């Protein structure tokens, strides 16, 4: 006859035996599952591709990045909008964080670079350089899968992409820098430029006015009062970024859609515009805001506020393609800046992308695999060996004081 204590002891033995058997079975299942078990492969143990090398090329205003792997697949990116004398060695320094990593872990590597140093995260030099690496990683991953990047972003949401400048879409520059309140001559200069552009594209075309932060708030309010709300698709860069209250004041005074974003970086700088409802269109630049990964997040954030994108883009074909791939995949989009013919930005002969612009002013979706951009490496190497210079830009008012531009 068993006693309560012996029954208890027997129960514990049976439990331990069962647990041991279960653990052994689980271990066998784990061994058997191996590569098929997603939870066991978060570090891509079954993939042998690794980042092995980096080559940097400084040509004109751009630093080109060539990220190499042990599988022979390479990815290309570009760094622009900052002094290349700084961004080139910065890219070579940041590469220390990428060597030996799997290039397809794009989000992880983006976070690793962005958050690598608490005191420089979010700054222009870091984020612009990060954008070049991000493009290269997406380029590698698309080539590995044999698909255009937009396929990995959820697939295309449109069949073609509206761009400017075309016969049906023109952006008007401010034609100068302005004082903090305008004269009749100042206002007439801008109004007449807008009128000429409207006559060129017709009533069904698009005219955009780029204030370029060169038209101070009071002068911009004067201009807006001199044109009808529908004369332009939007006013771009209505103020210098940094104080959201200025944008709020302009939005309260101007009945024309306002757009900005080319000098804002990552979701953390865009969220204030959206939350305060002072911008109608956001204009992230893929090369300025941290690359494809970051631009896609900005588009999703803006979607929550029903705000479309009109991407800023003054890049080489690598930056153009990266931006177009994101644009192809997002739901809310208005128009895309597009300078394929070397309007001071695209360096002829180094890169090439197949595209067509139709009669309506729409460009075809970017090709693949990856970014779909061909790089003439011999031409690039020759160009990079030539003496390179960089000059800091700047603008002044008539009295010699520093102006925004």
Of these residues, 212, 288, 325, 336, which one is catalytic? Answer: 212
64-67: long-range contacts, CB 8 A cutoff, minimum separation 24: 64/316, 64/318, 64/350, 64/375, 64/380, 64/384, 65/91, 65/132, 65/133, 65/135, 65/136, 66/136, 66/375, 66/377, 67/98, 67/103, 67/133, 67/136, 67/137, 67/140
| Residues 6+ positions from 189 with CB-CB distance below 8 Å | 175, 176
Report the length, in residues, of the chain.
Answer: 405
Whether 212 is a known active-site residue: answer yes
Of these residues, 128, 288, 312, 325, which one is catalytic? Answer: 312
Only one residue has tokens 């990116």, namely 77
Only one residue has tokens 């010699």, namely 400
Can you tell me the distance from the alpha carbon of 102 to that of 144, in angstroms, rounded to the nearest whole number? Answer: 12
Contact present, 244 and 271 (Cβ < 8 Å): no
- Tell me the sheet residues that pair with 203: none
Can you tell me the distance from the alpha carbon of 238 to that of 278, in angstroms, rounded to the nearest whole number? Answer: 11
The sheet with strand 336-337 has its strands ordered as 336-337, 160-164, 362-364
Can you tell me the distance from the alpha carbon of 389 to that of 401, in angstroms, rounded to the nearest whole number? Answer: 26
Would the CA dihedral through 26, 27, 28, 34 be positive or negative? positive
Whether 312 is a known active-site residue: answer yes
Which residues are identified as catalytic?
212, 312
């Amino acid at each position: 006859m068993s006693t309560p204590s012996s029954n208890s002891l027997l129960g514990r033995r049976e439990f331990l035996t069962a647990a041991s058997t279960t653990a052994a079975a689980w271990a066998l299942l784990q061994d058997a599952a191996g590569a098929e078990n997603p939870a066991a492969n978060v570090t891509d143990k079954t993939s042998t591709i690794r980042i092995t090398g980096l080559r940097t090329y400084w040509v004109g205003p751009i630093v080109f990045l060539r990220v190499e792997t042990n599988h022979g697949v390479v990815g290309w990116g570009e760094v622009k909008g900052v002094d290349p004398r700084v961004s080139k060695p910065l890219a070579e320094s940041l590469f220390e964080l990428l060597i030996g990593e799997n290039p397809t872990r794009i989000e992880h590597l983006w976070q690793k670079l962005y958050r690598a140093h608490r005191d420089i995260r979010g700054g222009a030099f870091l984020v612009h350089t990060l954008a070049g690496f991000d493009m290269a990683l997406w380029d590698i991953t698309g080539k590995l899968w044999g698909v255009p990047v937009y396929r990995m972003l959820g697939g295309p949401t449109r069949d073609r992409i509206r761009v400017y400048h075309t016969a049906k879409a023109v952006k008007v520059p401010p034609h100068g820098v302005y004082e903090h309140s305008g004269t009749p001559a100042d206002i007439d200069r801008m109004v007449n430029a807008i009128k000429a552009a409207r006559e060129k594209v017709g009533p069904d075309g698009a005219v955009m006015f780029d204030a370029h932060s060169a038209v101070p708030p009071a002068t911009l309010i004067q201009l807006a009062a001199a044109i009808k709300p529908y004369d332009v698709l939007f006013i771009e860069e209505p103020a210098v970024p940094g104080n959201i209250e200025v944008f709020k004041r302009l939005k309260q005074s101007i009945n024309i859609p306002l757009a900005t974003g080319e000098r804002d970086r990552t979701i953390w700088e865009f969220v204030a515009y959206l939350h305060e409802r002072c911008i109608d269109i956001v204009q992230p630049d893929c090369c300025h805001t941290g690359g494809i990964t970051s631009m896609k997040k900005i588009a999703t954030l803006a979607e929550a506020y029903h705000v479309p994108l009109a991407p800023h883009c003054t890049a080489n074909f690598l930056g153009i393609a990266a931006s177009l791939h994101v644009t192809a995949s997002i739901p809310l989009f208005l128009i895309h800046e597009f300078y394929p013919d070397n309007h001071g930005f695209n360096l002829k002969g180094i890169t090439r992308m197949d595209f067509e612009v139709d009669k309506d002013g729409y460009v075809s979706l970017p090709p693949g695999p990856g970014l779909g951009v061909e790089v003439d490496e011999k031409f690039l190497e020759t160009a990079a060996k030539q003496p390179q210079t960089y000059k800091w830009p700047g603008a002044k008012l008539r009295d010699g004081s520093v102006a925004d531009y």
